[in-house]
Each structure stands twice: as structure tokens, then as C-alpha cells.
Amino acid sequence: MGSRRQRWRRHRRRHRSSGPQLGLFQRGAHGGSRPGAGRPAGRRTVPHRARPVHRSAHPAHVTLRLRPDLPSLRQPRFEILRSRFARASRAWFRLVHFSVQSNHIHFIVEADDAQSLARGMQGLAVRIARAVNRRLGRRGRVFAERYHARVLRGPRATRNAIVYVLQNWKHHQTDTIGTDPCSSAPWFDGWRQPIPRWRSPPPTAQPQTWLLRVGWKRHGLLGTQERPWN
């Protein structure tokens, strides 16, 4: 068997002969970088910090991003979401515009304060997640991260946000014509050109803020061929 020191020397010789040692920051070293570890490359996640103060006079452009392993929520799965959108609005939280894309959903909402915005979006996210899981026969998380919200403080910013939300499909599909059927565009009354109106009741609430009722129109009604700025 040998002494403890001899056994330790034999152990070191076997360890050295098994292959070269890796440095502390080389790939494969314990504690170093590993393929697939950490956050997904190429996208910044929404930081977990306190939400900013939200004022009732300012609408918000909110984005919910789906998990990458889920299928597209556009047609025909879009129909399961429309009724959930219709039940989302309250006196203190209103869903005014939306568009459902393949892996994310855009909203323009109004809320009385930051707490109302958080409660309203939490309830909306729960409704969407339950509907999606029921339709797909699955369980678990539906959204990749918590929602991202951007406050709209002026007429031009509000108009740009409306274009971005209602015409977001033109950002992903360059050959589209008309309005997006997977959005609130068919019920929107701010188009410059007349469009066919859907007979079904709108799944959105009437805006109460000046910016969404009147203010954005200072920069002109929307054209059906307009595209998002970015």
C-alpha cells in the first residue's frame, strides 16, 4: 500500500498523465465558460429592477416575448387570444391596441399608475399563458421573460408606437398588403384610407388618454403602407 505520501505521489502522476490541465479561464475548465451556459446570445433580457413611475396621462407600449420552443401564435392560434384580450380591460387598466407576431406580442395600454400597469399586465399574461397551454396540451412557462414597457410621453412618440404595433407584420414580412388580421388594426378608426371593417365587437377598449384619443393625430392619420421605423 505504501505510506500516505507515496499514495499521494502516485495519484498526482496518474492525474498528470491523463491529459493537459486546463487554465482557469479556458473552455471546459471548472467554473469557466461552457457552450450553452448563461443567457442566450444576441438578446438582452429585461432587467429585474424597480419599474419607473407611471402616470395615467401617458400610455405605454408593452412587449411580451414568448419562449423560443413555442410555435407561432398567429393564424390559426390567434383566435384563442382575441377573447382573452377582450376580457383584459378594467376601469384602471385598458388594452387599446395589440398585434400578435410569431414569437412576441405588442400592446399599447393605459393604466392609472405603476401598480395598475403591473396588475393589468400580470392578469393579461396569465390569461394568455393558460389559453396557450390548453391549446397546445402542455404545461409550464409561456413567456421567456417579464414584460418590457416603454412610456409614451408625446404625440409623435405615441403615433410612432401605434404604427410600430399595428404595422409590425411589415417589419417581419416585406410583401404584406393591407392591415394585419392578427392585430387590432381591423377595428382601428385612424386610417387615412378606408378599410374593410370587421363586424365582430372590438377586443380592445376605447382610449381615455388625450394622447391616444387626439394627440397622436397632430402628426397625421396612419397610412396602410406605413412601416415601423425600426
Q: Which three cell numbers stand for residue 169?
A: 407584420
Residues 6+ apart with CB under 8 A from 61: 106, 107, 108, 149, 150, 152, 161, 164, 165
Task: Give the DSSP letter string of the chain.
Answer: ---HHHHHHHHHHHHHHT-PPPPTTSTTSTTS--TT-SSPTT-PPPP-SPPPP-BTTS-EEEEEEB-TTSPP-STTTTHHHHHHHHTT--SSEEEEEEEE-SSEEEEEEEESBHHHHHHHHHHHHHHHHHHHHHHHT--S--BSS--EEEE--SHHHHHHHHHHHHTHHHHH-TT--S--TTBSGGG-S-BSS--PPPSSPPSSPPP-SHHHHTGGGGG-PBPTT-----
Q: What is the per-residue pLDDT for 14?
A: 64
Closest by CA to 162, choosing from 221, 223, 97, is 97
Q: Which residues pair with 105 in a beta bridge?
A: 64, 100
Q: In the chain, what are the domain boundaries? A: 60-219
pLDDT at residue 206, as a whole number: 96
Q: What's the pLDDT score for residue 25?
A: 32
pTM here? Answer: 0.76
Write out residues in the chain with pLDDT < 70, as ranges. Answer: 1-2, 8, 11-52, 172-176, 229-230
Cis preceding-peptide flag for 228 (omega within 30 of 0): no
Q: Was domain 60-219 assigned CATH 3.90.550.10?
A: no
Closest CA to 101 of 157, 148, 166: 166
What is the predicted pLDDT for the residue at 163? Answer: 95
pLDDT of residue 45: 57
The answer to whether 173 and 230 have CB atoms below 8 angstroms apart is no
